[in-house]
Every structure is written in C-alpha cells, then in structure tokens.
C-alpha cells in the first residue's frame, strides 16, 4: 500500500510540474457584476482588432492562435493550416496581418526553453491564411508590440529594438532595425534593470512605453517611456520599490493599464510578487497617479492580468488566473465595459475600498 501511495503521489507531482493550468471550479465574483463578461472558456494574451470586432489570442503557451468575434463568441483558428511547435504571442499588424512569437522546436520535457529569447522568434502570418508564417530573422523575449498606424514593431532581447516590417515580392522582412533602449541607458533609480517592450504611445506613435524590472527588494518594475526622436527616457510610475508593469494603453495616450501590486506591496513567504497582481490605470502625465480597476486579488485567490484597450477606448479585454499559476496563463478572455464599471466603482468607494494610489512612499507593512 505504501508503494502504491508513493507512486500516485509521484505521478501527481509530475502532472503538476508539467501542467499549464490548474482546474478550479470557482470563478472571480466580478464576473457576476454586470460590467465584465467572459467570451471564451480558454485562451490568454489577447489583442484587439483595429475595428474592435475581434480579438486574437493564443490557446495556451505553445498552443494555436485563435480569433474570436466579440459580439457572438464565434471562434476562428488561425494556425490550424500548418504544423508548428506552438506560439507565445499573437498581435495585429497595422495592415491586418498577424505578428506571432514562437519557437521552431518544442520539447514537452523542457517546455519553457521554447519561451527563452534564444529560441522564441518573430513571424508574420498573412491574413489570407494561405501559407505558413514567415520568420523575420529576429528573436524575442516576452512580448513585442505593433504600432496601430504604421508597419512598425518593437521587441526585446536584452536591449529593445525597433524596425519597420516591409514586403519584398510579397515576403515580409524587417527593415531599418534600430537599437532603441539599453539597460545602461536607464536613469539612476533603475540603472541596469531588465527591459520589456510594451506599447507605442498613441495617438502619434512618438514614444515607446516599456517596462524596467529587477529583483531589488521584492520584485520591482517601473513604467518607463522613451521619446523616439530625442531618446529622452521618462519614469512614469516613480515607485522603484513597487511592481508596476505597463500593459494595454488607452487610444488617447493619456493613460496606460498596469499590472500592479500597490494593494499588497509586501509578499508573504512562499509566494511570488506576481501572486498579488491586479489591474490599475496609470496617468502618463508624470504625476504617478494610479486608479485600481479590478479587485480579483482581494482574497488572494485570483489575479487579473494582460489587459488591452479597444481602439475606441470603451472596452478592456483581459484574462484571469489563479494565484500560484505561471505568469501569462489565462482561464478565458474577459471583456470589461468601462462605462458600466463606473457604477461598480461607486459601490466599491461606498464600501471603503481604496481606489486611488499616488507615488508617495507610504510605509510597507
């Protein structure tokens, strides 16, 4: 009997070690409050189409890419017509083609190696889906970004790069590759921190918003911006002792969504910084003013992550995962209605919930 128990326990640990998502029946209570609806039962890391009618997303890390019609929930697979080793990101280019991130090989016994910048590559998949994607000859750490108006992209390896996507005889390639930011270029408070690309800042695409992060005290991250013409670097979150990671940006360029731990800045033993993430809105006016939007993390069961804003500014698409799951995992795509959420916000304020945060250095308890 003891041997049987040990075998079962060993198999359970093995399954957990190689699983991507935890099976969990409970859902965040905000899904029943009227301003949030779930439009898929699976998927993660979504991006809005330019007309706001569709979302592109990946099935799971190293999975297929899908597009969902927001109004109906109708799904369309985009990567079923060729063999591949799975994808990590999928974004809309300005011309409607798709920018993908994925490795050429995948080993289920060493899965995360395919996510490393040594193996994860940039690809362009044409919107007619008549051929496999074309590699762009560049590797990528985490997510790239695409301009919503120009055929311009930015991505990170160790440094942040920017380039145009051009087509020669119908074949996409990178042109005018430029090293945009290096860790050594960062200001004193974040000097030599790690980098991650986030968004070209609308409406003029004259600035790139990016993330600087480092395990300094807990695990910190700052919202940064670089002027594409002058190369001046600005710190927008002003809290080098907190985790503030920029995500989707609003179409007027005045605010960006942020994954933040402001509500729970000091992690407990056995947890990671990312176990305490919720979604905030940060003003990009230099004030460091932040407004908490989601309260998925209040009971430390769930996290709201990876938000993007529709081009009309009315909706946010995002995902949720469980505390303890690997970053980026999603249990389906959710839509947040900003107008309807105002009523829920008023109720939260009445209940005494803290909504507004500044960059003042309050003491960590």
Give per-residue pLDDT as tens, 48-64: 999 999 999 999 999 99
Percentage of residues in the chain with pLDDT exceeding 70?
92
pLDDT digits (tens, 9 = 90+) for 274-299: 899 999 999 999 999 999 999 999 98
**Residue 216, pLDDT score:** 74
CA distance to 252, 262, 345, per residue, from 291 (Å): 17, 10, 11
Which residue from 57, 206, 19 is spatially nearest to 143, judged by alpha carbons? 57
pLDDT-based confidence at 266, cuts 50/70/90? confident
Is a pLDDT exceeding 70 seen at residue 362? no
Structure tokens at 339: 């107008």
The secondary structure of 216-246 as a DSSP string is SSS-EEEEEEEETTT--EEESS--TTSBEEE
pTM score, whole prediction: 0.92
State the pLDDT at residue 358. Answer: 79
Rounded CA separation 121/135 (Å): 7
Q: Is omega for the bond preceding 182 within 30 degrees of 0, making it cis? A: no
Query: Is the per-residue pLDDT at 323 higher than 60?
Result: yes
Residue 144: CB partners within 8 Å, gap ≥ 6?
89, 91, 99, 101, 122, 153, 154, 155, 156, 197
Domains and CATH numbers, the chain: 33-357 (2.120.10.30)
């Amino acid at each position: 009997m003891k041997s049987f128990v040990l075998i079962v326990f060993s198999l359970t640990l093995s399954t957990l070690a190689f699983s991507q998502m935890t099976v969990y029946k409970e859902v965040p209570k905000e899904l029943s409050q009227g301003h949030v609806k779930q439009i898929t039962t699976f998927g993660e890391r979504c991006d809005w189409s330019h007309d706001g009618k569709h979302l592109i997303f990946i099935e799971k890390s190293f999975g297929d890419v899908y597009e969902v019609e927001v109004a109906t929930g109708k799904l369309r697979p985009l990567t079923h017509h060729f063999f591949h080793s799975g994808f990590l990101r999928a974004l809309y280019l300005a011309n409607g083609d798709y920018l993908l991130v994925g490795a050429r090989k995948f080993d289920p016994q060493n899965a995360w190696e395919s996510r490393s910048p040594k193996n994860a590559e940039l690809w362009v998949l044409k919107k007619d889906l008549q051929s496999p994607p074309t590699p762009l000859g560049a590797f990528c750490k985490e997510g790239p970004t695409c301009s919503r108006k120009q055929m311009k992209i930015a991505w990170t390896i160790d440094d942040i790069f920017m380039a145009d996507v051009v087509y020669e005889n119908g074949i996409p390639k990178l042109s005018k590759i430029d090293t945009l930011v290096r860790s050594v270029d960062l200001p004193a408070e974040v000097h030599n921190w790690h980098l991650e690309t986030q968004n070209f800042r609308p409406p003029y695409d004259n600035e790139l918003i990016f993330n600087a992060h480092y395990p300094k005290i807990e695990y910190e991250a700052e919202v940064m911006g670089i002027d594409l013409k002058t190369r001046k670097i600005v710190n927008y979150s002003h809290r080098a002792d907190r985790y503030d990671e920029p995500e989707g940006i609003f179409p007027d360029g005045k605010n960006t969504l942020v994954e933040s731990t402001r509500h729970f800045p000091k992690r407990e033993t056995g947890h990671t910084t990312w176990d305490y993430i919720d979604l905030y809105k940060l003003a990009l006016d230099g004030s460091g003013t932040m407004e908490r939007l989601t309260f998925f993390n209040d009971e430390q069961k769930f996290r709201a992550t990876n938000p993007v804003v529709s081009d009309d500014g009315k909706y946010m698409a995002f995902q949720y995962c469980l505390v303890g799951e690997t970053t980026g995992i999603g249990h389906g795509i959710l839509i947040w209605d900003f107008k309807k959420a105002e009523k829920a916000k008023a109720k939260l304020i009445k209940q005494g919930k803290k909504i507004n945060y500044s960059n003042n250095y309050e003491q960590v308890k």
